[in-house]
Chain A
């Protein structure tokens, strides 16, 4: 639907503007009966303003742009000729009706005389309407762009918040604070260390951007801070066994790829096993692929089966970034849970990396 028809007030203003413009054809007419000529000019001009409204669709179909001048001007030139003829037909039709008024008998003659001028005015009026429609379209575009930008910003904020919530689980935070509270009593030096480790980790997650690619080495550094805090809490129970190839460390991975996997291993694995349990992490480049393996001990008689949101989230992010070229799969036996991630090995120097 035409935007003016949707808003009654704008339509009123539009018609009023054209009623005022009817003074132009009125002057051209130079009629002996000024009142009749004024009525005729007003009726014809306002009627023309209504009849030209559909040119809005022509303007939408022919957007302005570099290299389109010939097409746009020829189309509108042709339309201007057609509409100016329509304009003249309007005049001729209405003047026959008005000529029934005895004082306005001479009007048809005046119209005949002004015919070329009226044709010209009709064409100009058409071009005026077309210009107006291009302005409307431009305003629409701008409003859409602003709305889209606002929606994008909102989405980005939501995503960031979600990521943040996913990164710092309340359970982890409160347990860590409890550890600090306990350490203050029997090892104040370690309590200080714990505060700094916790702050380092939180700062790391705050700085991490959901869609950024980072070297695996940096992503692992964030995991190390997380594990250092967990080590204070669990002590001997967490036995770390980590080997990351230099080549693998340089590979780019989505930020926060490993952290949720490591946190999963801790919350569903290590922290539910009473005896010291290993957390094994391996990363290596095999051909074109980066392979990361995270393996942890589990309770042989689990209360709840592990998996769930953390893994699904990482899977979804891998799919979004790499499509079919990355996979995450899970293996388990009675005492071990293993996550294997394979993705294209890209280093910052390689041409495909961005």
Chain B
């Protein structure tokens, strides 16, 4: 419960359906201590408003145009508390349960909404322990992989088709994605990204490298039994001995 001297908690709604937004606004209006600071009609707007309005809480629909809820989660400040809303998505709901993420199943009652606010109040300000990519992966149907990566590059939000990725280089908690003749950094581990990409397309050829097999032109020796993969455009990617075995298994040679 907020004391009267406390500033009001700031809430952002993100849902592509007008009736759903109005319902959330109505429920929220009945709760003292919470104030609505913005309504986003799609994922991209949600990210922009999260940046400008600095909400404490984001009520986030899973299925939205432009960016989905999981992609939005990966692009906003980690201290924003998030409550997901969804109508029906068995994998997403299982992922929320496993990762202890709060969610509302449409349609929901005002009472259930109030409970979610009570829980959110506790979470506000604590930085999420959970990384968005892990949650998104858990919410995907088994055997399905990412079709695109969404990365914030300064003020710009990049949507990168996985087919446009040449290779990925891991550096501690970051990965550098080489695509479309440029590279972009995103906060994620290489191991986590590896499990989100189709293993028939991307192979861990080295402790620090994930390679799109369709870009490989040839392998060349590089001393000490290791090799380098030469890409069609002439760039090279180091290949360890075990990486070479994995690469050959996928290429079937």
Binding site for B on A (CB under 8 A): 169-171, 173-175, 177-183, 185-186, 232-235, 237, 271-274, 299, 301-305
Contacts and interface: CB of A to CB of B under 8 A. Distances in A.
Which 4 pairs across A and B sit closest by C-beta, in order of nearness? A182-B23, A182-B19, A178-B106, A174-B87
Contacts, number: 73
A185 B26 CA distance: 8
A305 B147 contact: yes
Contact of B63 (A177, A271, A302): A271
B19 A179 contact: yes
Nearest to B21: A182
Nearest to A277: B65
B88 A178 contact: no
B66 A274 contact: yes
B23 A181 contact: yes
B22 A175 contact: no
Interface in B1-56: 16-20, 22-23, 26, 41-42, 44
A174 B90 CA distance: 13
Nearest to B16: A274
B147 A304 contact: yes
A182 B22 contact: yes
The secondary-structure label for the interface of chain B is: loop
Interface in B123-160: 144, 147-148, 159
B171 interface: no
A173 B159 CA distance: 31
Contacts of B159: 301
What band does the interface of chain B fall in when counting residues whose beta carbon is under 8 Å from A? 20 to 34
B65 A272 contact: yes
A301 B106 CA distance: 27
Given A170-B88, A271-B63, A303-B68, A178 B107 contact: yes
23 contacts: A170-B87, A170-B88, A174-B87, A174-B88, A174-B107, A175-B87, A175-B88, A175-B106, A178-B20, A178-B106, A179-B17, A181-B107, A182-B22, A182-B23, A186-B26, A232-B19, A235-B18, A271-B65, A272-B63, A273-B65, A274-B65, A301-B148, A303-B147
B161 interface: yes
A174 B105 CA distance: 9
Given A174-B88, A178-B20, 5 more contacts: A174-B87, A179-B17, A182-B22, A235-B18, A299-B66
In this complex, which of A234, A272, A273, A303 has the most chain B Cβ atoms within 10 angstroms of its Cβ?
Answer: A303
Contacts of B88: 169-171, 173-175
Q: Which of B26, B65, B161 neighbours the largest number of chain A CB atoms within 10 Å of its CB?
A: B65
A350 B215 CA distance: 58
Contacts of A271: 16, 63, 65
A299 B87 CA distance: 21
Contact of B87 (A178, A180, A186, A234): A178
Given A233-B17, A274-B16, A303-B147, A177 B65 contact: no
Contacts of B68: 303
Contacts of B22: 182, 185-186
